[in-house]
Structure 1
Amino acid sequence: MRTVLIAAFLLTALPALAAGPVKPARLGLCAACHGETGMAQIPGAPNLAGQRLDYLRGALKQYRDGRRNAPLMKAAIGPVSDQDLDALAQWYSAQAPGQATP
């Protein structure tokens, strides 16, 4: 019985896991400069598509906490939770570099 339950769970969960990260609710402000798919929309903004997850997660926390001196980023991130920062990092790290904006 236990095996059947595990199999049923995996069959229902695998499509969601294979689809990749869900578009974060807080993506809008980030996308204004970095693009929804991580390809910069304005000069001087870095492309985030395909960056390493741990790098993005750490950088976002450093901007939020003021350890990276970038007033624009600190203002844009504001008091975002670790969960929201993680969702943004997962989203951008999962995007393919060079992918066109939809």
Structure 2
Amino acid sequence: MRFVLLAALGLTCALPALAADLPPKPARLGLCAACHGETGMAQIPAAPNLAGQRLDYLRSALKDYRDGTRNVPLMRTAIGPLSDAELDQLARWYSAQTPQPQAAAHP
């Protein structure tokens, strides 16, 4: 019983520290959130979930969309004007989010 109490106390003390490690919400999140959700869980069927994706993958993909290497006009339009620093903020934000289970579609 003592172990359980100590573990619970340790977890309670660690939670604020873990929350402090989350990156700040990017100022340019709005357009992304319209399709991918603010926490990276897609809002529309064609959009992929971004929550919990690898940081290096997201950085690379965002730059490829912006620069036209990945030829997706909607993405290029949405992130075309963003700087490398802004893309990095978005990648950090989405990679730090925790994926959530999807609700089952009802026919």
* TM-score interval (norm. to shorter): 0.7 to 0.9
Out of 16-25 and 51-60, give the one that drifted further: 16-25
Structure with max Cα Rg: 2
Which one of 92, 95, 98 corresponds to residue 93 of structure 1?
95
TM-score (norm 1): 0.79
Which structure is higher in RCO with an 8 Å CA cutoff and minimum separation 6? 1
Q: Is the 8 A contact 1:24 1:91 kept in 2?
A: yes
Counterpart position of 1:7:
none
1:1-102 matches, within 5 Å, as 18-98=20-100
Structure 2 gap segments, 5+ residues each:
1-16, 103-107
Q: Percent identity?
A: 74
TM-score (norm 2): 0.75
Q: Deviations along 1:33-90, whole A, 9 cap, x unmatched?
A: 0000000000110000000000000000000000001000000112210000000000
Q: Give, as a single letter, the amino acid of the residue that structure 2 aligns with 1:70.
A: V
- Give the total of aligned pairs: 86
- Quote the offset at 1:93 in angstroms: 0.0
